Structure 1
Amino acid sequence: MSTPVLEARGISKYFADPVRVQVLRDISFALARGEFASVVGKSGCGKSTLLYILSTMDTDYEGTLLIDGEVMGTRTETELARVRNEKIGFVFQFHYLINEFSVLRNVMLPGEKLGRLAAPELEHRAYEKLRILGIADEALKLPNQLSGGQKQRVAIARALINDPLIIMGDEPTGNLDKKNSEVVFDIFQELAHTHQQALLIVTHDPDFAAKTQRVIEMEDGRIIR
């Protein structure tokens, strides 16, 4: 058995506002390389809170989180920032592109931060990611010159620039019409099948979830299926 890309062991989370409320209860599951999983459940059931912990952005939890077989709870914030940049790609409901930068530069930004590749090589890689997503012709445009579906594809290209082990999405099709949602789904499926990247996608879209390899259903802070 290969090491899971991501593993949660008994993760619980509390908010104090002003009384102590438990929002996640003993969450345990593992995600393998190339596995495409969706997380579903009603609003307020803890999906986004869980994703925030799994992405290492929230470190205030009980239990153990492993990414690529390594425990995250003992890492410094600097070390966690590097794990996020190197091993996790993020795609959100809102694309968070920088309008002052070209599409190409937006895609390159996480690679510049990681500092593993020289600028010409990074630019070449960014073009490759845009080509895979069918939007290389838009590389020199500004984000505000693109449609909503194109912007989300740029956001996916940006998430892929450092060849992460896992792609995490928080409602990545939430602002897209049916046609563009299907395009994004097909891209994700291709990433899992061809590039063996793991995907963990929080979604309210039952059609999207039904097509994924695995559905993780949450209710009241627990995994029920």
Structure 2
Amino acid sequence: MDTPAIEARQLIKYFDDPVRVQVLHDVSFALNRGEFAAVVGKSGCGKSTLLYILSTMDTAYEGELLIDGVPMRGKKEAALARVRNEQIGFVFQFHYLLNEFSVLRNVMLPAEKLGKLSRPEIEHRAYEKLKILGIESEALKKPNQLSGGQKQRVAIARALINDPLIILGDEPTGNLDQKNGEIVFDIFKELAETYHQALLIVTHDNDFAAKTHRIIEMEDGRIIS
């Protein structure tokens, strides 16, 4: 049996502001390589809180988070930062590209930070990722010269640069029109089915969710299906 890419075991989360409120109740699930799952539910149901814990940014929780079978609890911040950079790719509703750099350099940045490859190797890899996403011809442009859909594809290429185990997405199609939303969906599907990438995407888009391999539905801090 393959080790899940990411696994949550009975995650419990409280907020203490100003009174103690439980926002996650015994959340458990596992996601395998090549699996493309959507997390859905009404605003305030705990989706973003869950994503923040899964990203290792929030460490104040009860229960267990495992990435590639390795428990994250008790790891120091430097070790968690390395996990985030090596094993998790992030795609947000806003692309957070830096307009002072070219598209290519934006994609290269996380790999430069990781420091495992030479600059020519990183550049080659960045071109490969842009090619997968069909935008290698835009590599030398600045992000502000691109359309919204192109910018989001650059953000996906950047998320892929370190060949992460899992892609976490927070409303990645939320700012896109239907056509570009469908393009991004098709890219995610290809990443799962061709490149065996694990993807966990929080979305309000029911059409997007319905086409994924699996829907994780949340309500009041619990997974209900």
Q: Name the TM-score class by shorter chain.
A: over 0.9
Aligned length: 225
Query: Any residues of structure 2 matched to 1:32-51 within 5 Å, and which?
Result: 32-51=32-51
Aligned to 1:89: 89
* Mapped partners of 2:48, 2:137: distance in 1: 34
1:125 aligned counterpart, secondary structure: helix
Calculate the TM-score normalised by the size of structure 1. 0.99
Aligned to 1:135: 135
Aligned to 1:63: 63
Query: Any residues of structure 2 matched to 1:1-225 within 5 Å, and which?
Result: 1-225=1-225
* Structure 1 runs, 4 residues or longer, greater than 6 Å off: none
C-alpha deviation, 1:7, in angstroms: 0.5
Deviation string 1:6-54 (CA, Å, 9 cap, x unpaired) is 0100101000110000111100000011000000000000001100000
Aligned residue type for 2:161: I
C-alpha deviation, 1:93, in angstroms: 0.2
* Mapped partners of 1:12, 1:99: distance in 2: 39
* Mapped partners of 1:118, 1:177: distance in 2: 38
Calculate the TM-score normalised by the size of structure 2. 0.99
Deviation string 1:116-169 (CA, Å, 9 cap, x unpaired) is 110001000001100110111111111111100000000000000000010000
* Mapped partners of 2:48, 2:113: distance in 1: 25
Tell me the percent identity: 80
* Mapped partners of 1:74, 1:186: distance in 2: 37
* Mapped partners of 2:88, 2:40: distance in 1: 20
Aligned residue type for 1:207: D
Aligned residue type for 1:24: L
Deviation string 1:85-113 (CA, Å, 9 cap, x unpaired) is 00000000000001111100000000001
Aligned residue type for 1:141: K
Aligned residue type for 1:133: L
1:126 aligned counterpart, secondary structure: helix
Aligned residue type for 2:24: L
* Mapped partners of 1:86, 1:223: distance in 2: 28
Unaligned runs of 5+ in 1: none
C-alpha deviation, 1:61, in angstroms: 0.5
* Mapped partners of 2:69, 2:17: distance in 1: 34
